[in-house]
Amino acid sequence: MVQRIDVHAHFLPERYRAALAAAGHSKPSGMPAIPKWNVTEHLEMMDRNEIGSAILSVSAPGVHFGDNAAARDLARFVNEEGATAAHDNPQRFGMFATLPLPDVDGALRELEYAFDTLKADGVVLESNFHGIYLGDARFEPVFEELNRRHAKVFIHPTNPHCPCCQVQPKGENAAALPPIGYPFPMIEFMFETTRAVFNLLLSGTLDRFPNVQIIVPHAGATIPVLADRVAGLSPALGLPEKLDAEKFMTSLRGMYYDLAGFPLPRQLNALLEIADPKHVLYGSDYPYTPEPLVTALAAQLDGSPQLSAALRADFMRNNALALFPKFA
């Protein structure tokens, strides 16, 4: 069995779990509860599911709950906790650093510390930070520094920031649900990812900063289905830099895509219409995806007739090694 490399794995130290609850996120994004997490249980889950290495990241809603100073402090804490797990288990864990955006000055300082002192493997960026989406000009200094460092950026969806998603549901279970009435990860996270990635392209951000390597979660979300539509309409927008369909699709093909979620039996075929097969990576989404479901989804990938043995080995491990050779 190929030892998987998991690029979509989360961690929740106790202080971060407490901060989530204190900020009103005891049911994050409408999920039933904040998952419990510790290093030992994560390693045991990995061993049971043939996962050799995992790169830890903080999931939605990140660390900024309205106060810059508190966000900087919490980002430093989670990054040091992730770095400690990676240092103590160097072949098992890596870490995507968290930045206290939308505080750009704080993010730049944390980015420097995370790369130069903690030796982070990259950064995780939420799809939006208090309504400011990736690709917004306010984040240009951050992308300039990420570009200078040839950084790997793992995009993760977060709660949508739109009026239509703020209507409180009614009924006996209303208190346990987000405003629109069902968990955001079910549907809205897919649109969040799509909006963020298309905004990075349409704003010219990735064209200006070509050294940034983007990892898109959840098998590309709805990007494969909407790519032709957005690419086809792009020339009519009058963008400062020409973005025709060929350039648009080339940019999408240059990104990396993880397989967290439910890529089979349909989504994977759509993803491979736009993605380079050498840029497809494994992701578990543990512990937000509980272990029984991690096991079941991995078994689907292992047994799928859609994947040859060579392609499966690439998706599970080999492609990730090209990005993260330290796990060889």
Q: What CA–CA distance (Å, rounded) separates 9 from 115?
A: 19
pLDDT given for residue 107 in this prediction: 98
Q: What CA–CA distance (Å, rounded) separates 145 from 92?
A: 28
pLDDT given for residue 242 in this prediction: 82
pLDDT given for residue 243 in this prediction: 85
Other CB atoms within a 10 A radius of the CB of residue 247 amount to: 16
Q: Report residue 313: phi and psi, to 5°.
A: -65, -40
* Angle between helices 140-148 and 104-116 in degrees, nearest 10: 20
Q: Where do the domains of the chain lie? A: 4-327
Residue 82 in contact with residue 11, Cβ under 8 Å? yes
Rg of the chain taking only CA atoms, in angstroms:
19
Note down pLDDT in tens along the chain; length 328 residues.
579 999 999 999 999 999 999 998 988 887 889 999 999 999 999 999 999 999 999 999 999 999 999 999 999 999 999 999 999 999 999 999 999 999 999 999 999 999 999 999 999 999 999 999 999 999 999 999 999 999 999 999 999 887 666 555 566 666 666 666 678 889 899 999 999 999 999 999 999 999 999 999 999 999 999 999 999 998 888 888 888 899 999 999 999 999 999 999 999 999 999 999 999 999 999 999 999 999 999 999 999 999 999 999 999 999 999 999 999 9
Token pair in block for residue 35: 């998952």
pTM: 0.94
Q: What is 4-327's CATH number, 3.20.20.140, 1.20.120.420, 3.40.50.2300, 1.20.1260.10?
A: 3.20.20.140
CA distances from 78 to 57, 71, 74, 117 (A): 9, 11, 6, 14
Other CB atoms within a 10 A radius of the CB of residue 231 amount to: 21
How do the residues of the chain divide into helix, strand and coil, expressed in percent and rounded to 5? 50, 15, 35
Q: What CA–CA distance (Å, rounded) separates 36 from 108?
A: 30
